[in-house]
Structure 1
């Protein structure tokens, strides 16, 4: 498929691919980073799965489990990164994020894929139009990162934050 004469694969997933690339290099130098996904990231995360098979876990469509595992890992001194579609990341495990991640102010990194109606073809369950509103009104200890472009400086700031953080990545750039 081509858009404006460019092959689609060159423009789709750019922000997510950059995140995966930066994360790969970060995981090479920091053995405390654990990546937990909820049924997403196929292809983009392959390099990480091959290099760090014991530090990546796909829990399937179990977002509450993903957050629960992250809480336990955080208490044990790890830096868990939870990665899935933005709406599933914030809506499904809302109570656990509120009670543990936010209230306990744990160093858990929440990474949501998709902004606004990036997943329009999948319907309203996949849309994320109010993530900033949810976090600012319900989760006062979670730092928000929602860049228009994703750079190494953005990644560094996100990873260096010792408080809970939410990073929203555009699906299509």
Structure 2
């Protein structure tokens, strides 16, 4: 995902002179091509993420389209006040790009884990929250945020994530979910880098005789309410999947919507991380296995909820 982001931003920077890249002392080699093409629009702000957010806000208020980039906790939790009071309060078109969201940096311990960021950012007024499911969604999201005049948050995985879509998403729209696979019994709503796991869950459910639709909810705020309304009306179970805390994340947003609109909340089944720090040693796949977030584990729980076991 991060390579796709760097490549697409480089292309966008060549097309749009308003685009500026601000790095929090990370990804220097990753952005070599960007710097070579527009060196005067790349700033390494060092380990000073709060300052980076303030600088980006000033640029945005003067007609530029700045992107800030660093590891997720350092560009969200560390500078939440600047995001809220500088960028969001002034409705400045700053795009905050976080790499290694969820448990992508599982091996580096809780300081580098990010399972609360969606909750933080979606609670801030004027903020758009986007969690692409693969590299094609990353590329489309980068181009989509530049077209709007408001702050945005793009939540990336790290690298090497499976590509789900077959090619460029020419009809990508912020706030409009994408159907990846059709089905008629269970609707799997995935956000962010859980999309490949959602596809695997659907495959395993299919082997068990359960027809599952897979939908990529790349935008957590605003939610695609039309798609949610359809899902809760048509399917026996609606399942949310996210590499984020069950508190305040995508599943919480869907549950809030269901309660507010009178949808059948009992249909909802949520997968996410628990209300606890993950302190075990291991990489992302190990962490997912420990937390019940792999395709085979989720398929088993869904089958049980359907009464198939």
TM-score by length of 2: 0.49
The DSSP-based 3-state class of the residue aligned with 2:13 is: helix
How far is the alpha carbon of 1:22 from its aligned partner?
0.8
The DSSP-based 3-state class of the residue aligned with 2:135 is: coil
The DSSP-based 3-state class of the residue aligned with 1:34 is: strand
Match in the other structure for 2:135:
150
How far is the alpha carbon of 1:159 from its aligned partner?
2.4
Matches of 1:143 and 1:136 in 2, distance apart?
A: 7
2:100 pairs with 1:108: no
Aligned partner (choices 17, 28, 50) of residue 64 of structure 1: 50
The DSSP-based 3-state class of the residue aligned with 1:92 is: coil
Matches of 2:38 and 2:144 in 1, distance apart?
A: 23
How far is the alpha carbon of 1:140 from its aligned partner?
2.1
Q: Deviations over 1:115-153 (max 9, x none)?
A: 21111222211111111111122x121101101113233
Match in the other structure for 2:85:
99
Match in the other structure for 2:26:
40
Matches of 2:140 and 2:49 in 1, distance apart?
A: 28
How far is the alpha carbon of 1:164 from its aligned partner?
0.3
Tell me if the contact between 1:146 and 1:169 (Cα under 8 Å) persists in the aligned partners. yes
The DSSP-based 3-state class of the residue aligned with 1:125 is: coil
How far is the alpha carbon of 1:59 from its aligned partner?
1.0
Q: Deviations over 1:8-35 (max 9, x none)?
A: xxxxxxx111111111111001111111
Matches of 1:158 and 1:30 in 2, distance apart?
A: 13
How far is the alpha carbon of 1:72 from its aligned partner?
1.3
Unaligned runs of 5+ in 2: 162-309
Matches of 2:148 and 2:129 in 1, distance apart?
A: 11
Q: Which one has more relative contact order, counting CA pairs under 8 Å at least 6 apart? A: 1
Match in the other structure for 2:278:
none
Aligned partner (choices 134, 143, 148) of residue 161 of structure 1: 148
How many corresponding residue pairs?
158
Tell me if the contact between 1:146 and 1:167 (Cα under 8 Å) persists in the aligned partners. yes
How far is the alpha carbon of 1:67 from its aligned partner?
0.7
Match in the other structure for 1:74:
60
TM-score by length of 1: 0.86
The DSSP-based 3-state class of the residue aligned with 2:97 is: strand
Tell me if the contact between 2:101 and 2:157 (Cα under 8 Å) persists in the aligned partners. yes
**Highest Rg: 1 or 2?**
2
Tell me if the contact between 2:65 and 2:146 (Cα under 8 Å) persists in the aligned partners. no
Alignment root-mean-square deviation, CA: 1.2
Tell me if the contact between 1:145 and 1:158 (Cα under 8 Å) persists in the aligned partners. no
